[in-house]
Amino acid sequence: MVNRAFAGRGLGWIVVLSIGVGVVAELVKSAPQVFADDQAAQSQAEPPHPWQGASFPVEQFSRYTSPFGYRQHPFGGHRFHYGLDFAAPMGSYIRNWWEGKVTHVSDHTTCGTMAMVQSGKWTHIYCHLQGHIVVEKEGGRVLVDRAGGIEIRQGQTVQSGQRIGRVGMTGATTGPHLHWGLKYDGAWIDPALVIKAMVDLQ
């Protein structure tokens, strides 16, 4: 069952963290806005509701396994973890958090097979996806997961809740999970704070 969430339209309060220290720096009124101009008239007619349309990123989610912040890295050393890990069975579908544009796909880093989506000032990053195939196709890079029926092209728009991959074990990982990273205006954000804000405002 997909934990979809968070109806309402307009601006919302988000928590912005200072880079690398994982503490609250300030609250700003700025939920993701991909098509702000197109929605301006409609949003004026509706009461603002933070986090409208946002989607929980993992189907068949079982538990959080590694939080944002400093940790003992499973491959050695004490390192900063720039994201939140969601454990789920191998092959569980991953859903796009918020409507935006795919800005990057890759399959050759410690992040494994990954996709990056830009939603206004927000950047959301999905790591350790199933499969290894990222190919040049019709002039653009495409993440292809044939078994999962997924093709995600750089430059395409993806909707909130759209399936964009499946949980895998590519890159540096010890078990199947999604590593979900978030940035706001270039600054790393603790995804757990965003999840909590969305849940609190349901």
Give me the pLDDT at residue 41, please. 38
Q: Locate the domains of the chain by residue range.
A: 63-187
* pLDDT per position as a tens digit, 7-19: 222 223 333 333 3
Sign of the CA dihedral running 155, 32, 15, 52? negative
Q: What is the pLDDT of residue 28?
A: 33
Based on its alpha-carbon atoms, the radius of gyration of the chain, rounded to whole angstroms, reads 16
- pLDDT at site 115: 96
Confidence (pLDDT) at 185: 94
pLDDT number for residue 71: 59
Residue 34 burial by CB count (10 A; 0-12/13-18/19+): exposed, middle or buried? middle
Degrees (nearest 5) of the Cα angle 38, 118, 4? 80
If we measure between CA atoms, which residue out of 31, 65, 63, 35 comes closest to residue 48? 31
pLDDT of residue 44: 41
Does domain 63-187 fall into CATH 3.30.1180.20?
no
pTM of the model: 0.74
Please tell me the predicted confidence (pLDDT) of residue 4: 37
Give 10-residue mean pLDDT values along the chain (202 residues): 32 32 34 47 45 87 75 60 88 96 91 94 95 72 92 94 94 86 94 87 72
pLDDT of residue 182: 95
